[in-house]
Amino acid sequence: MSKTADQQQAAAAGQKVTVQDDFWGRYIRLVQDTVIPYQYEALHDRVPEAEPSHAIANFEIAAGRREGEFKGWVFQDSDVAKWLEAVGYSLSIKRDPELERQADEMIDLVGEAQYEDGYLNTYFTLKEPGKRWTNLMDCHELYCAGHFIEAAVAYYEATGKDKLLGIVCRFVDHIETVFGPEEGKLKGYDGHQEIELALVKLYRLTGEERYLKLSSFFIDQRGQEPNFLVQEWEQRGRVTHWTGTATDSIDPGYNQAHIPVREQSVALGHSVRAVYMYTAMADLALLTGDAGLREACERLWKNTTEKQMYITGGIGSTHHGEAFTFDYDLPNDTVYAETCASIGLIFFAKRMLELVPDAKYADVMERALYNNVIGSMAQDGKHYFYVNPLEVWPQACSCNPGKHHVKSERQGWFGCACCPPNVARLLTSLNQYIYTVHGDTLHTNLYIGSQLNVTLGGTEVALVQESQYPWKGEVTLKVSPAEAAEFGIALRIPSWSRGMEITVNGGLVSDSVSEEQGYAVIRRLWSAGDVIRVSMPMEAYRVYAHPNLRADAQKTAIQRGPLVYCLESADNSEPLSSISLNEAGTLTETYDESLLGGAVVVEGTGFRVAQGGWTGGLYSREKAPLEAVKVTAVPYYLWGNRGSGEMKVWIPE
Amino acid sequence: MSKTADQQQAAAAGQKVTVQDDFWGRYIRLVQDTVIPYQYEALHDRVPEAEPSHAIANFEIAAGRREGEFKGWVFQDSDVAKWLEAVGYSLSIKRDPELERQADEMIDLVGEAQYEDGYLNTYFTLKEPGKRWTNLMDCHELYCAGHFIEAAVAYYEATGKDKLLGIVCRFVDHIETVFGPEEGKLKGYDGHQEIELALVKLYRLTGEERYLKLSSFFIDQRGQEPNFLVQEWEQRGRVTHWTGTATDSIDPGYNQAHIPVREQSVALGHSVRAVYMYTAMADLALLTGDAGLREACERLWKNTTEKQMYITGGIGSTHHGEAFTFDYDLPNDTVYAETCASIGLIFFAKRMLELVPDAKYADVMERALYNNVIGSMAQDGKHYFYVNPLEVWPQACSCNPGKHHVKSERQGWFGCACCPPNVARLLTSLNQYIYTVHGDTLHTNLYIGSQLNVTLGGTEVALVQESQYPWKGEVTLKVSPAEAAEFGIALRIPSWSRGMEITVNGGLVSDSVSEEQGYAVIRRLWSAGDVIRVSMPMEAYRVYAHPNLRADAQKTAIQRGPLVYCLESADNSEPLSSISLNEAGTLTETYDESLLGGAVVVEGTGFRVAQGGWTGGLYSREKAPLEAVKVTAVPYYLWGNRGSGEMKVWIPE
């Protein structure tokens, strides 16, 4: 494999980024102070109000420390791994000896549950010994391995401790004896992609090419004929893990294994699996220079974000298989938009930004982050949405079975607890998503207050970003090269912004600025103390959807900066469906510091069916009179924090 | 049991009605010429393009005529019964020796499959011998019995042949030995109500009080504690028929057996079961004078039709359990609105009309008949909708699993073939739904051309109704008493009509007309040759839905007379969601005789997103310009006959 200049650059850039931001600081502290400790208790089944996880218990039993049987999902181990990964990132931000002790103990436990030959999985240790690698389609063995690899890399990078790294490397050694192109090895791959991107992280840390090769093997093998998942299913008597009985057919498209990945153009199947795979594909495209992979990534990105993405950055239109459906099918009330899928979309976006400096990837990253992802977590850090709807009628969630998957209030730790630890690991690693480097140019993708140390064109550069995002569009970047040097600073022009202005040291910089793929790129000789000021007018505006997106036809959504807004019963009288926005009305904005930690509230004028104006029965020839009303919208990410009620993002206009 | 004057009157009225109507005549002939012969072939598995029914084969095997095993649903026998019932009605209209021979042969076959002790059910004969009456909840034994009883009554009334009547009476004799209040008998009832209304028919034909008592027993027992369905489920090891495995719980509410029927106020559970039960309850309320049953019927009617009914007369908002959901939850695209449920609603309406002369019952009967029910059948009589949606996007039906149950084109005979034979038996018995008699007053419920012979106040009266419904609102009724006599003729004032005018012998009749519960009642001395002319202005109008009905908020539907209209891709460009109706625009009407047998087409003016006017991606701050368009609506019952395309009833205004 030959590396391109870009790849070397990316590898060499060695960014060190620390988040210092009011808005995100609060979230990160919430994760550190509340979420990680709460999840630690939950993993130990010590949260009375939550369904027992049994994840640690499984390891204790597998390690021989206690008696008992396996409980939980087949992928229960991954919750432990994701917690360890989040702890790694958290310790990178702030050392915490007690937390580190908890993690070290957990790593000891994991190590005790590992087989001599390197194999590690409590389900197959306790519940189906002897059945290793017989149901890759359903059983998440490599998926769990992947999460432990990610955890090991994060924990090593934070602490320098290599015990978990040793555990996963031995596990990968074992996996290499089972899977590969060589005669007698399985030509398979996991039903749930994850190890592919994890192996890339392991390669980046260790420089061991064989990890990259194994990742490529899994990616390349996927969807080849004869189809591994079909063969495997036939070999085990067509039995599915989920019911223990035979099934008539399987759909490899659900696992994105219906055709080779390089031939895929349409996002389909389970949405988390899809974006985890696309992430690994983009990683491999960057590291191997594989044009076919890169083109597939671009096609899949385009389809996902231009045809199948909610305005909140949610993906996955149906709970049946937690899956994509088809182009422009984005129902607001039967939606899935799983939290993990949006997190995976952010992973994918970040890899695309490393591959191609195009602001469209950062636009989507921002959309998913500020809306679907943080909207999934309650302000207490202990309650989560798994499904993130854009329209909710609470009674329908309980009384219409087609909406039972949608909740109007965030739930405690789930039986299937994938989302909460995924939120934790994303927020604690947010520093990884702000900047990318291409050549001697630094790309600012997110306007998040932060300190950066990076080498650009051979010069060490310190950069401090100050931002009042998402409430105000004023951003300051102080650039401090070790010595005066020429390099580029690329500032993303958000797709939602109009009239963004940039000054350097107080002066407009039109001469040295060019617009390149959605960035304002300033190339000049920088000296210590140079200050860039970015001003993005942040007024509320209306958004419309493509006419083919039937669910949003004749409706508008309100956005302000990156934030999508919604109506809630807490501010508007039910039924919300009676409300329409005045097309010509203005939107006014007020910062309400008492609202859930402080937020800008947007008010507009509109109409609603006059209270008592309807005199008919269920149907009538008489239209009810309308009355003028004030329409109050709050940021989507705050919805559902003031009791159960109706909510909607798209409003008739 | 003491009969009220009304009950005696109803029993004594002895109406004989013959349909003579352009609109319905075509449907009835279609059933006679095509549907009944087609279904005969389908029952014999001789329709190549349809899924095999195996219904006759099951009887042949049970009768010992051939070898083989049971195939089909546990209630497959009922398809044979429903066909025989439809044949009975058809022969009442027009004798047909060849059809009668086919039916007689089928009845011989049914008789051969009957046990010595009277038991009759091919599933339990062939598939689970020895398991009779062990799973009333799932296995439809009494349901199938009920359909054979209805068939026997219809066939006897048409032909005077009593062989099938004898079969079912022996079966009922047997059922009486199994079920009843006496010690040692099952205190149970069927999971799918049907026998209750059938036993009432058997009582009406034979005058045997014990049939009425058995029906009352099933109705009275339902929902009593300890709950029979729960006990039975526990006794059989909690096994469900549908998977053969144990279930964690059952929901007797699905079977309307959660509380005693007299305490029920809200329609819930499987919608066909519900309305079949309500029908029997209304029957029994009439025949026994039971006030508690009558009040329950009125409450359940009110909830069903004022909170949970689609504008098309469809009921059942979810395909999960083919069930009701809750008040005002009437989604247009994930709808169920099963054909059979609307037919059951018509049964219920007819019984309520016998109980209470209130036009509201006839309004709903008309709504369901002219929209949901006939809309379910293709113009060829060979293709049917099981689910009758109010909004269809064909690609979503195939690519979004939450809409897989909705089809954009009518299907051939189904594996679960309940709807087509139900349509056949309703249309061939349509003469039973036009008139009701209360005291000496004849109530005209449906404006369907017909001849009636009836006794009113002791006088024999012949009446000829001529109607051009649903296209024109001009109706003529020629009243010919055997001798001049005083009695009442009540003419329903459709809830949709405005400015209905009535003349008798050319003169306005305000003196002798009173408005009573939605009817214009003319009480006078009638002489042979008196002519009533009714004129209902039949212009297209707009309908609005209750503000709590979120799915239809800010939308309007077009109706003309009893017909609900819809937009289809065949007349309007896709996506239909881009189209809105001009609130101030007029609606124009044209009779198009080339349209699927002739229909009035309604045109309005509206707007749609200009072709090519959208320049954004998936979301944009720029609203696409609108252009004025002609909006073309066709009767809902004709939708889906011109290829697969989008359809919608509710249009933004």
- Span B277-283, mean pLDDT? 98
Please say if the pLDDT value at position B432 is more than 80.
yes
Please say if the pLDDT value at position A6 is more than 70.
no
The alpha-carbon gap from B577 to the nearest alpha carbon of chain A, in Å, equals: 6
Grouping H, G, I as helix, E, B as strand and the rest as coil, residue A361 is helix
Assess A538–B contact: CB distance below 8 Å, yes or no. no
Residue A580: closest C-alpha in chain B? B554
Assess A544–B contact: CB distance below 8 Å, yes or no. yes
Question: What integer pLDDT is reported at residue A78 of this predicted model?
Answer: 96
Residues of B in contact with A622 (CB under 8 A): 544
Residues of B in contact with A554 (CB under 8 A): 577-578, 580, 652
Assess A514–B contact: CB distance below 8 Å, yes or no. no
The alpha-carbon gap from A318 to the nearest alpha carbon of chain B, in Å, equals: 7
The alpha-carbon gap from B489 to the nearest alpha carbon of chain A, in Å, equals: 28
Looking at chain B, the number of H-run helices and the number of E-run strands are 20, 23
Crossing angle of the two packed helices A271-288 and A5-13, in degrees rounded to 10:
110
Residues of A in contact with B331 (CB under 8 A): 400, 402
Q: How far apart are CA A83 and CA A413, in angstroms?
A: 13
Assess B242–A contact: CB distance below 8 Å, yes or no. no
Question: What integer pLDDT is reported at residue B7 of this predicted model?
Answer: 42
Q: How far apart are CA B232 and CA B613, in angstroms?
A: 63
The alpha-carbon gap from A25 to the nearest alpha carbon of chain B, in Å, equals: 30
Q: Which of A307, A542, A617 sits opposite B618 (nearest CB)?
A: A307
Residues of A in contact with B396 (CB under 8 A): 325-326, 329
Assess B399–A contact: CB distance below 8 Å, yes or no. yes
Question: What integer pLDDT is reported at residue A1 of this predicted model?
Answer: 34
Q: Which helix (H) or strand (E) holds B492?
A: strand B485-492
Q: Which of B309, B326, B546 sits opposite A399 (nearest CB)?
A: B326
- Span A85-114, mean pLDDT? 97
Q: Which of B322, B338, B354, B568 is an active site residue?
A: B322
- Taking an 8 Å cut-off on Cβ atoms, the answer to whether A652 and B554 are in contact is yes
Please say if the pLDDT value at position B626 is more than 70.
yes
Cα B128 to Cα A176, A415, B643, distances in angstroms: 53, 39, 43
- Taking an 8 Å cut-off on Cβ atoms, the answer to whether B306 and A617 are in contact is yes
- Span B566-587, mean pLDDT? 96
Residues of B in contact with A498 (CB under 8 A): 621
**Residue B322 annotated among the catalytic residues of the structure:** yes
Where does residue A651 rank: exposed (0-12), middle (13-18), buried (19+ CB within 10 A)? buried
Per DSSP, helices labelled H in A356-480 are 359-367, 374-375, 394-399, 419-428
**Residue A176 annotated among the catalytic residues of the structure:** no
Residues of B in contact with A311 (CB under 8 A): 619
Please say if the pLDDT value at position A8 is more than 60.
no
The alpha-carbon gap from A408 to the nearest alpha carbon of chain B, in Å, equals: 16
A315-353 pLDDT tens trace: 999 999 999 999 999 999 999 999 999 999 999 999 999
Q: How many other CB atoms are there within 10 angstroms of residue A469's CB atom?
A: 26
Q: How far apart are CA B297 and CA B278, in angstroms?
A: 6
A279-315 pLDDT tens trace: 999 999 999 999 999 999 999 999 999 999 999 999 9
pTM for this structure?
0.94
Assess A25–B contact: CB distance below 8 Å, yes or no. no
Residue B547: closest C-alpha in chain A? A578
The alpha-carbon gap from A498 to the nearest alpha carbon of chain B, in Å, equals: 10
A404-443 pLDDT tens trace: 999 999 887 665 577 888 999 999 999 999 999 999 999 9
- Span B296-315, mean pLDDT? 98
Please say if the pLDDT value at position A43 is more than 50.
yes
The alpha-carbon gap from B332 to the nearest alpha carbon of chain A, in Å, equals: 12
- Taking an 8 Å cut-off on Cβ atoms, the answer to whether A548 and B575 are in contact is yes
Residues of A in contact with B402 (CB under 8 A): 318-320, 331, 334, 402
Residue A401: closest C-alpha in chain B? B320
- Taking an 8 Å cut-off on Cβ atoms, the answer to whether B575 and A550 are in contact is yes
- Taking an 8 Å cut-off on Cβ atoms, the answer to whether A575 and B554 are in contact is no
B507 Cβ neighbours under 8 A, 6+ residues apart: none
Closest by Cα among B336, B383, B357, B370 to B13: B357
B27-61 pLDDT tens trace: 999 999 999 999 999 999 998 877 888 999 999 99
List the beta bridge partners of residue B632. Answer: B603
Q: How far apart are CA A481 and CA B555, in angstroms?
A: 61
A460 Cβ neighbours under 8 A, 6+ residues apart: A453, A454, A481, A482
B412 vs B71, residue with greater confidence = B71
B475-515 pLDDT tens trace: 999 999 999 999 999 999 999 999 999 999 999 877 788 99
- Span A188-202, mean pLDDT? 98
A471 Cβ neighbours under 8 A, 6+ residues apart: A23, A538, A561, A591, A599, A600
B187-244 pLDDT tens trace: 999 999 999 999 999 999 999 999 999 999 999 999 999 999 999 999 999 999 999 9
- Taking an 8 Å cut-off on Cβ atoms, the answer to whether B618 and A305 are in contact is yes
Assess B541–A contact: CB distance below 8 Å, yes or no. yes
Q: Which of A318, A554, A652 sits opposite B401 (nearest CB)?
A: A318
Q: Return the percentage of chain A with pLDDT > 70, whole number.
A: 97
Question: What integer pLDDT is reported at residue B8 of this predicted model?
Answer: 39
Q: What's the sign of the alpha-carbon dihedral A377, A378, A383, A389? A: negative
Closest by Cα among A356, A325, A296, A370 to A563: A370
Rg of chain B, C-alpha, whole Å: 25
Q: How far apart are CA A547 and CA B578, in angstroms?
A: 6
Grouping H, G, I as helix, E, B as strand and the rest as coil, residue B44 is coil
- Span B308-331, mean pLDDT? 97
Assess contact for A185 and A178: CB atoms under 8 A.
Answer: yes
Find the range with the poorest average confidence among A81-95, A497-511, A603-617, B271-285.
Answer: A497-511
Q: How far apart are CA A1 and CA A21, in angstroms?
A: 40
- Span A533-545, mean pLDDT? 96
B129-158 pLDDT tens trace: 999 999 999 999 999 999 999 999 999 999
Assess B577–A contact: CB distance below 8 Å, yes or no. yes
Residue B329: closest C-alpha in chain A? A396
Looking at chain A, the number of H-run helices and the number of E-run strands are 20, 23
Q: How far apart are CA A151 and CA A91, in angstroms?
A: 12
B485 Cβ neighbours under 8 A, 6+ residues apart: B456, B457, B458, B459, B461, B525, B526
